[in-house]
A and B are shown apart, each in its own frame.
Chain A
Amino acid sequence: MIAAALIHPHGPYIDWAALSPLVALVGGSVVVLMVGLLRSRFARTQVVPFLTLVSLGVTIGFVIWQWHRHVAAISGALAFDQLTGTITLLVAAGGIAATLLSWRGQAPRESAHGDFYSMMLGSITGMVVLVAAQNLVTLFVGLELLSIPLYVLCATEMHRAASLEAGLKYLIVGSVGSATLVYGLALIYGATGSTDFSGIAGSISQGHSSDVLLLTGIALLTVGLAFKASIAPFHQWTPDVYEGAPTPVTAFMAVATKAAAFGVLLRVFDVMLPAEHLNWRPALLVLAAISIVVGNVGALGQSSLKRLLGYSSVAQAGYILAGVAVATTLGARATILYLVVYLLMNIAAFGAIVARERMTPYGDDFDAVAGLGAEDPWLAWPLTIAMLALAGVPATAGFIGKFFLIDALVGAGYTWLAILIVVGSMISLGYYLRVINAVWMRSAPGPSASAAAGVPVIAGGSPEADALGQTHIELRFAAVVFGGATVFFGIVPQPLFDLAQHAANTLSGAL
């Protein structure tokens, strides 16, 4: 067969309709890069982000257009099914939010707008590829395409040492993660002789299920992916990088990277390795438990909001991983549902935080949101809703998400982890309520208060006086829309259920 291929190699059939979301992203990033080179300041500062939004909007449109198709494109390297579609929608929504958040921000101005948004679109492309990947090679290329632009994006606020430090840390620790992952992929290939997910699954089902080489490969693969999803104990880069990176980038990392990482976790464990679930399930459950504990405990007593959300994202990653770990259709559904919910509440929170960074001299410190309730209810409410939703208070989407995770866990017989989720949520109130307390109960610190405290502005805050005191409509828009959606889906969750069910159905054959 190889000989025949050697003589007349035929290029694979390319289903452009199925590929269209990917084409929109790649094309968008190239166009954005070009427009960013124009001399006109207006083109650079306004047209570039606008084109980014157009590109993401078109991507979403294409995904909806192709929603009911299930295509294995380009020699089966990429699967465009409803799981890919759902994650694409999520990362595109995260991208739209990040674009809005950085529209008039510092980071794109320092790193050139075209480069900034082009790299963001590139990272989103990587996320889509990662989730759509059907073989090990594509998976690794997707992961790198996701990561490398992100390393640079973290360092784009170049006048701040913390931003550069974040980029550097992320790069070094991330390379360790990538190396681990690629080692794991090599071992899996060595054990099964195939790079295709379906080939690997077939090889495993033919009786290599507990081969030590394969299992070690799975271990390394688990660690590599857990690293991207910031699951404890592979989470340590998260708080530092979240705090140091420009806040819009932090928001993007928090929601989009997480969605992609869990999308690929679902794909890998529930499509490639379902036959191994007795082996990997306990490991994932324990990792989830460690994340819940570490994240929630670590977030207590933080004074930086971004750092707090960094730890909170570790805890939330633990919750979501629990949904992957149970390896049931219900668990997969709960995972996807929680990813959607997680996106909504985090964008609402980050929108408010970015707005306060630009309005006050306190950066992302608690002081920045003190007295927000009296000063600006249109930011205070989304932030409050986001915090309540992250803590899982009823009538918010966060409650629905947690409820279904717990339902899936109890249904699969892991009540202990469900209890741990509840305990974690209780601990989490200890820091989420502190934010709400600062928003509503404290009064805004006077200008002398921070000088007396002697705390220097830690991160995120741009010290430029001319940038302070501005309120930007797009931030408010993002915060209000996503905060409103958090409440709306807390009351009318059925659309989310339908979405999660569609996405999980593509996995149900394997589970």
Chain B
Amino acid sequence: MNATHAAWLVLAAPLAGTLVIALSFKWLPRQTAGWIGTLAIAVSFGYSIVAFVQLQSLSPEHRELTSSLWTIARTTGVDASATILVDPLSVFMILVVSGVSMLIHLYSVSYLKGDRGYARFFAYLNYFVFSMLLLVLAGNFLLLIVGWAFVGAASYMLISFWYRRASATQAGIKAFVINVIGDAGLVLGTFFIFRSSHSLDFVATFRVAPHVFAYGSGGITAGCLLLLVGAFAKSAQIPLHTWLPDAMEGPTPVSALIHAATMVTAGVYLIARMHPLFQLAPAAQDVGAIVGCLTLLIAGTIALAAVDIKRVIAYSTMSQIGYMIMGVSAGAYAAGLFHLMTHAFFKALLFMAAGSVIGAMGGEQSLDRISGMRKALPFTFICFLVGGLALSGIPPFSGFFSKDDILAQIGSRGGWYWALYAAGYLGAGLTALYTFRMIFRAFLGEPNPQARELEHGHLFHPEQPTNPANGEVEDTDVGFPGPDHVIAERALPMRVAMSLLALLAIAGGIVGIPKTTSWLENFLAPTFAGSTIHLAPSNTLIYVGLALGTVIGLGGIGLAWVVWVARPGSSTVIAARLAPAYRLFAGKWYFDELIDALVVRPATWFGRFAQGSFERVFVNGTLIGGTTAIVRAGSAVVRSAESGFVRYYVAFVVIGLSGVGLYFLVQS
């Protein structure tokens, strides 16, 4: 079996899982759907490893394989086929995606066990993994767009999984709309590129790109900026980020899988995949780097003020993806992807642990009510702590190496990149601060009633299930969360998944220790061999960066300790003293309101106006009314000519015949 065969099987397994679960859910006994789904992803992961091994057995310059299953259309000007591209980048992505997905599926087997939509959940989840793998394996723009749109659809279905919850369906719609904006950007960007390259194929496009596009020319810049719109929407970068916090309405494993580990990193993948194009459009690269930098700062500050435990992690995700976008936009490809991988580990772990906490709270998510969970949930606490330390970049946890790698590479570019460098370290301080704010508030302090109950061995279940977002009363039938709440301490699959991720979060950094291992960088090198940006941070920069990162991380944790543990109450004092800033952060920098004021309201106003005057009079009255009237009248004429009398039919034949005959007479 060669690498491309394995890659096709990587795709086939989750698709088969989806179909099996979706078609046979009526006959599947309880939890079988979950195990089938997990098995499918495990098979996928297995073949990812096979693909990896097979790829490594080739010489580095031959590690770019394409394989076409069939041709969709090869005609005048279009060469669309179902082609996958197997190279180190895509193999790296399928390893991360299928590996993390496998663990999250395993976690979900237990976590969702009481839910009435159990089989549906796993059908969706497998479909999502298929779409994501399709996205990263796509060998041409067509499949990329298909995968991109599929992923958006899967995200919509999973956010709105509890479809009777109004807040969940609204969040799903919001995510879908913003994702479609991204899809439009991607499609238009593809068009801009295709117009000059005349090929949809990645390899061919990248090969001809330097010849058909002048460096920094308008066409390629516009194309890359449009691609960036797609990347920003999918990766929740400012200003297209507002859907991500709302997406936390979905079940927690969904948040872990889609909105932390895989889908939201698609933008990072896109920029890395398109690097031969982006390197021709420096302006687009700069836009990407600056937007990533802004996102990491702004999201960090919002996370500092958010109170919903899942939203804190969601803002943290935005912030971390900001690092990655900044990195890959600045040319630090291997570093950005390294952070993508470690982030997938520790962020999935954090979400899983948060899910366990929420289970213990009976569905409650507000940090204002969660406290003192340490004794009640010892395993969860350890996992949360490991994830938090990795996120904060404390050595030797994985996040430490990857974050500093990005920043060192950016620093090595010099010039105004120093500003990004500084912002990155500022963001690192924020990260440590909000992460440990969350940990200290949730796990330390006085145990709350639920925690105390759990310490006595009884898992809290609320009298009446409610929506944690707005307190609406619900039931536990299909379309709402099920009656069971689950904690990791009492579910073996969850513990296995979390333990494995915790190990990865601790030790994942080993693949990229600067100057020592650099395995990941070497592995990815063939993909980025043609890169025109060569970054080689000096030793000084690396070691200073590592030291600085450690100090800032520890400093952030220390500050959090002081504010939320050592001197409880000081946070309110600080919030009061810095009231404008706090309001800004707690109000999420008013992005929702800004978009509302700048886009939604004018659009609504214009829509009302257009509906009232333009549409009613012109469109409805004249265009549509006129058209439908014509069509209706034509329909009546045609049908009433259908009299049923054979003699009239023959008469029509004769009329038509004399018409055609007359035409030919005129021609002669």
The answer to A–B direct touch (Cβ < 8 A) is: yes
Is B668 a contact partner of A212 (Cβ separation < 8 A)?
Answer: yes
Interface extent on A, as a size class?
35 or more
B647-668 CB contacts (< 8 Å) to partner A = 648-650, 652-653, 655-657, 659-661, 663-665, 667-668
Is B649 a contact partner of A173 (Cβ separation < 8 A)?
Answer: yes
Q: In the complex, what residue of chain A is closest to B655 when comparing beta carbons?
A: A233
Chain A residues positioned under 8 Å from B464 (CB to CB): none
Chain B residues positioned under 8 Å from A138 (CB to CB): none
Is A300 a contact partner of B631 (Cβ separation < 8 A)?
Answer: yes
Chain A residues positioned under 8 Å from B635 (CB to CB): 297-298, 300-301
Looking at the assembled complex, report how far the CB atom of B183 sits from the nearest CB atom of chain A, in whole angstroms.
15
Complex formed: what's the CA distance from A447 to B135 in Å?
A: 51
Our pick among B634, B639, B660, B663 for the contact of A293 (Cβ within 8 Å) is B634
**Cβ of A219 < 8 Å from any Cβ of B?**
yes
Q: Please, what's the 1-or-0 string for A285-322, where 1 marks a CB less than 8 Å from any CB in chain B?
A: 00100000110011011100000000000000000000
**Cβ of B641 < 8 Å from any Cβ of A?**
yes
Is A236 a contact partner of B649 (Cβ separation < 8 A)?
Answer: yes
Is B642 a contact partner of A236 (Cβ separation < 8 A)?
Answer: yes
Is A173 a contact partner of B646 (Cβ separation < 8 A)?
Answer: yes
Looking at the assembled complex, report how far the CB atom of B12 sits from the nearest CB atom of chain A, in whole angstroms.
15
Our pick among B634, B642, B644, B664 for the contact of A216 (Cβ within 8 Å) is B664
Is B73 a contact partner of A298 (Cβ separation < 8 A)?
Answer: no
Using A212-B665, A236-B642 as known contacts, say yes or no to A220 and B70 having CB atoms under 8 A apart: no
Main secondary structure of the interface of B (DSSP, over half): helix
Using A411-B76, A491-B72 as known contacts, say yes or no to A300 and B657 having CB atoms under 8 A apart: no
Our pick among A176, A282, A302, A497 for the contact of B653 (Cβ within 8 Å) is A176
Looking at the assembled complex, report how far the CB atom of B19 sits from the nearest CB atom of chain A, in whole angstroms.
13
Is A234 a contact partner of B668 (Cβ separation < 8 A)?
Answer: no
**Cβ of A180 < 8 Å from any Cβ of B?**
yes
Is B663 a contact partner of A283 (Cβ separation < 8 A)?
Answer: yes
A123-145 CB contacts (< 8 Å) to partner B = none
Is A172 a contact partner of B650 (Cβ separation < 8 A)?
Answer: yes
**Cβ of B608 < 8 Å from any Cβ of A?**
no
Q: Please, what's the 1-or-0 string for B625-641, where 1 marks a CB less than 8 Å from any CB in chain A?
A: 00000011011001101
Chain A residues positioned under 8 Å from B59 (CB to CB): none
Looking at the assembled complex, report how far the CB atom of A276 sits from the nearest CB atom of chain B, in whole angstroms.
9
Is A180 a contact partner of B657 (Cβ separation < 8 A)?
Answer: yes
Our pick among A210, A282, A407 for the contact of B75 (Cβ within 8 Å) is A407
Q: Please, what's the 1-or-0 string for B104-142, where 1 marks a CB less than 8 Å from any CB in chain A?
A: 000000000000000000000000000000000000000
Is A215 a contact partner of B649 (Cβ separation < 8 A)?
Answer: no
Looking at the assembled complex, report how far the CB atom of B426 sits from the nearest CB atom of chain A, in whole angstroms.
48
**Cβ of B516 < 8 Å from any Cβ of A?**
no
Chain A residues positioned under 8 Å from B648 (CB to CB): 236
Complex formed: what's the CA distance from A172 to B650 in Å?
A: 9
**Cβ of B470 < 8 Å from any Cβ of A?**
no
Q: In the complex, what residue of chain A is closest to B75 when comparing beta carbons?
A: A407
Chain B residues positioned under 8 Å from A173 (CB to CB): 646, 649-650, 653
Chain A residues positioned under 8 Å from B659 (CB to CB): 233
Q: In the complex, what residue of chain A is closest to B649 when comparing beta carbons?
A: A236
Our pick among B73, B644, B664 for the contact of A283 (Cβ within 8 Å) is B664
Is A216 a contact partner of B649 (Cβ separation < 8 A)?
Answer: no
**Cβ of A279 < 8 Å from any Cβ of B?**
yes
Is B634 a contact partner of A297 (Cβ separation < 8 A)?
Answer: yes
Our pick among B72, B642, B661 for the contact of A298 (Cβ within 8 Å) is B642
**Cβ of A169 < 8 Å from any Cβ of B?**
yes
Interface extent on B, as a size class?
20 to 34
Looking at the assembled complex, report how far the CB atom of A277 sits from the nearest CB atom of chain B, in whole angstroms.
12
A144-200 CB contacts (< 8 Å) to partner B = 168-169, 172-173, 176-177, 180
Using A298-B635, A301-B635 as known contacts, say yes or no to A215 and B667 having CB atoms under 8 A apart: yes
**Cβ of A376 < 8 Å from any Cβ of B?**
no
Looking at the assembled complex, report how far the CB atom of A39 sits from the nearest CB atom of chain B, in whole angstroms.
40
Is B646 a contact partner of A172 (Cβ separation < 8 A)?
Answer: yes
Is A493 a contact partner of B642 (Cβ separation < 8 A)?
Answer: no
Chain B residues positioned under 8 Å from A227 (CB to CB): 653
Using A236-B641, A300-B632 as known contacts, say yes or no to A220 and B661 having CB atoms under 8 A apart: yes
Using A236-B649, A236-B652, A493-B73 as known contacts, say yes or no to A297 and B660 having CB atoms under 8 A apart: no
Q: Please, what's the 1-or-0 string for A219-232, where 1 marks a CB less than 8 Å from any CB in chain B?
A: 11011000100000
Chain A residues positioned under 8 Å from B650 (CB to CB): 172-173, 176
Chain B residues positioned under 8 Å from A279 (CB to CB): 664, 667
Chain B residues positioned under 8 Å from A222 (CB to CB): 660
Complex formed: what's the CA distance from A407 to B75 in Å?
A: 9
Is B639 a contact partner of A301 (Cβ separation < 8 A)?
Answer: yes
Using A172-B646, A239-B642 as known contacts, say yes or no to A218 and B664 having CB atoms under 8 A apart: yes
**Cβ of B71 < 8 Å from any Cβ of A?**
yes
Looking at the assembled complex, report how far the CB atom of B76 sits from the nearest CB atom of chain A, in whole angstroms.
7
A391-423 CB contacts (< 8 Å) to partner B = 400, 403-404, 407, 411
Looking at the assembled complex, report how far the CB atom of B300 sits from the nearest CB atom of chain A, in whole angstroms.
42
Is A234 a contact partner of B639 (Cβ separation < 8 A)?
Answer: no
**Cβ of A211 < 8 Å from any Cβ of B?**
yes
Chain A residues positioned under 8 Å from B660 (CB to CB): 219, 222-223, 283, 287
Complex formed: what's the CA distance from A317 to B639 in Å?
A: 18
Complex formed: what's the CA distance from A458 to B641 in Å?
A: 19
Using A173-B650, A493-B73 as known contacts, say yes or no to A294 and B638 having CB atoms under 8 A apart: yes
Chain B residues positioned under 8 Å from A211 (CB to CB): 668
Is A220 a contact partner of B638 (Cβ separation < 8 A)?
Answer: no
Is A234 a contact partner of B656 (Cβ separation < 8 A)?
Answer: yes
Q: In the complex, what residue of chain B is closest to A298 when comparing beta carbons?
A: B638
Complex formed: what's the CA distance from A239 to B639 in Å?
A: 10
Complex formed: what's the CA distance from A300 to B659 in Å?
A: 27
Chain B residues positioned under 8 Å from A216 (CB to CB): 661, 664-665
Chain A residues positioned under 8 Å from B641 (CB to CB): 236
Is B663 a contact partner of A219 (Cβ separation < 8 A)?
Answer: yes
Is A237 a contact partner of B638 (Cβ separation < 8 A)?
Answer: no
**Cβ of A427 < 8 Å from any Cβ of B?**
yes
Is A180 a contact partner of B653 (Cβ separation < 8 A)?
Answer: yes
Complex formed: what's the CA distance from A212 to B663 in Å?
A: 11
The 7 closest A-B pairs by CB, nearest first: A298-B638, A215-B664, A219-B664, A233-B656, A297-B634, A212-B668, A236-B649
A-B contact pairs, 19 of them (CB 8 A): A172-B646, A172-B650, A173-B650, A176-B653, A180-B657, A215-B665, A223-B657, A233-B655, A236-B649, A236-B653, A283-B664, A297-B634, A301-B639, A400-B73, A411-B76, A493-B73, A494-B70, A494-B72, A494-B74
